[in-house]
């Protein structure tokens, strides 16, 4: 199991490096694919998807909305058109609910809307961060604030963890591990910023900006991880999918990344204004 998980992680990291460095369009297409998969995983988990062989009308509207949303992201970036696309998609889902009543339960409609916003919309901020000035460096903070935090929390919690962080939801997570996760992410952010400053890639402000961003995001990344676990527990699931050997589905591996991607973007934008 460990070997399978480790090999999958290596492949993920390689793909991550390739798409983050390849440029905007390849990254956008990769995120679109991940978003569609994550949307289907979430609709299955929340019982919107009932027939394994067919996509229902709610899912079809959601997937169409995701595709249009990513086209709008690519063409216009952060703009009022993004909100308009979201509103239209949600309105169409409500129309499906009304004109096919009682085909769908209200809970299914709300779950479909949640699945549309939770993974696809929030994940798009990885691309938006990549489009910022020095975005090719900033975007890596998302993974330092999530995956490094997760690894650090696991190692510290396993070694000295005594006080439960969320005893009912996730009995193995500890407060000590959570603190270790934040500290680990901040430390790696300092090292990362130091390398970039030394090589002349970024200015000295990165030495405090990057650790601050990762400290904030590592706190929220743990909430994202627990939130995804809570949804699985509510629906008696072990994993969201089986796409990634040893890890589960896209939602299992990218749960914390999805949660903090918008925070990274806005933190980077706001902090950049303080030094400009």
User: Does residue 102 have a cis peptide bond before it, meaning omega lies within 30 degrees of 0?
Assistant: yes
Q: What are phi and psi of 80, to 5 degrees?
A: -65, -20
Report how far residue 85's alpha carbon sits from residue 276's, in angstroms, rounded to the nearest whole number: 32
CA distance 199 to 218: 26
Q: Which residues contact 95 (CB under 8 A, 6 or more apart)?
A: none
Q: Residue 233 has what pLDDT?
A: 87
User: Residue 192, CB half-sphere, CA atoms under 13 Å: how many?
Assistant: 25
- Extract the runs of DSSP E, i.e. beta strands, from the chain: 164-166, 170-174
Please say whether the beta carbons of 123 and 261 come within 8 A. yes
Q: 113 and 132 in contact (C-beta within 8 Å)?
A: no
Beta carbons within 10 angstroms of residue 225's beta carbon? 22
Q: Which of 175, 258, 186, 180 is nearest to 216 (CA)?
A: 186
Instruction: Tally Cβ neighbours within 10 Å of residue 36.
Output: 18
CA 131 to chain centre: 17
Question: In the chain, where are the structural domains located?
Answer: 1-131, 133-276
pLDDT score of 171: 84
Coil vs helix vs strand at 248: strand
Q: Please, which residues have CB within 8 angstroms of residue 130's CB and are 6 or more apart in sequence?
A: 20, 24, 27, 136, 138, 139
Q: Are 241 and 220 in contact (CB under 8 A)?
A: no
Residue 21's pLDDT is what?
Answer: 83
Tokens 């992201």, residue located? 73
User: What pLDDT score does 3 carry?
Assistant: 63
Task: Read off the pTM.
Answer: 0.91
What distance in Å separates the CA atoms of residue 90 and residue 84, rounded to the nearest whole number? Answer: 10
Q: For residue 165, what are its two tokens?
A: 């962080």
Q: Hey, how many other C-beta atoms are within 10 angstroms of the C-beta on 207?
A: 15
* pLDDT tens, N- to C-terminus, the chain (276 residues): 546 666 777 877 788 888 888 878 999 999 999 999 999 999 999 889 776 668 899 999 999 999 999 999 999 999 999 999 999 999 999 999 999 999 999 999 999 999 999 999 999 999 999 999 889 999 999 999 998 999 999 899 988 988 888 888 888 899 999 999 999 999 999 999 999 999 999 999 999 999 999 999 999 999 988 998 898 888 888 888 887 776 778 888 888 899 999 999 999 998 877 765
């Amino acid at each position: 199991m460990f070997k399978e998980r480790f090999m999958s992680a290596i492949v993920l990291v390689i793909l991550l490096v390739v798409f983050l460095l390849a440029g905007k369009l390849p990254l956008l297409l990769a995120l679109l694919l991940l978003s569609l998969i994550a949307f289907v995983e979430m609709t299955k988990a929340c019982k919107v998807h009932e027939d394994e062989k067919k996509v229902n009308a709610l899912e079809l509207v959601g997937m169409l909305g995701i595709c249009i949303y990513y086209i709008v992201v690519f063409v216009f970036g952060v703009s009022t058109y993004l909100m308009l696309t979201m509103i239209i998609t949600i309105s169409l889902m409500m129309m499906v609910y009304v004109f096919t009543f009682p085909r769908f339960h209200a809970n299914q409609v709300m779950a479909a809307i949640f699945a549309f916003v939770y993974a696809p919309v929030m994940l798009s901020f990885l691309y938006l961060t990549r489009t910022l000035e020095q975005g090719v460096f900033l975007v890596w903070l998302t993974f330092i604030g999530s995956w490094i935090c997760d690894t650090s929390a696991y190692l510290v919690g396993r070694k000295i963890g005594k006080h439960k962080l969320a005893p009912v939801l996730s009995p193995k997570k500890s407060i000590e591990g959570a603190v270790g996760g934040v500290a680990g992410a901040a430390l790696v952010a300092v090292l990362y910023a130091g390398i970039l400053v030394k090589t002349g890639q970024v200015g000295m402000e990165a030495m405090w900006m990057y650790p601050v961003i990762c400290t904030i995001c590592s706190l929220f990344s743990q909430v994202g991880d627990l939130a995804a676990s809570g949804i699985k527990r509510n629906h008696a699931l072990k994993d969201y999918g089986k796409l990634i050997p040893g890890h589960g589905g896209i939602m299992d591996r990218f749960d914390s990344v999805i949660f903090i991607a918008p925070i990274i973007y806005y933190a980077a934008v706001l902090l950049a204004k303080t030094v400009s």
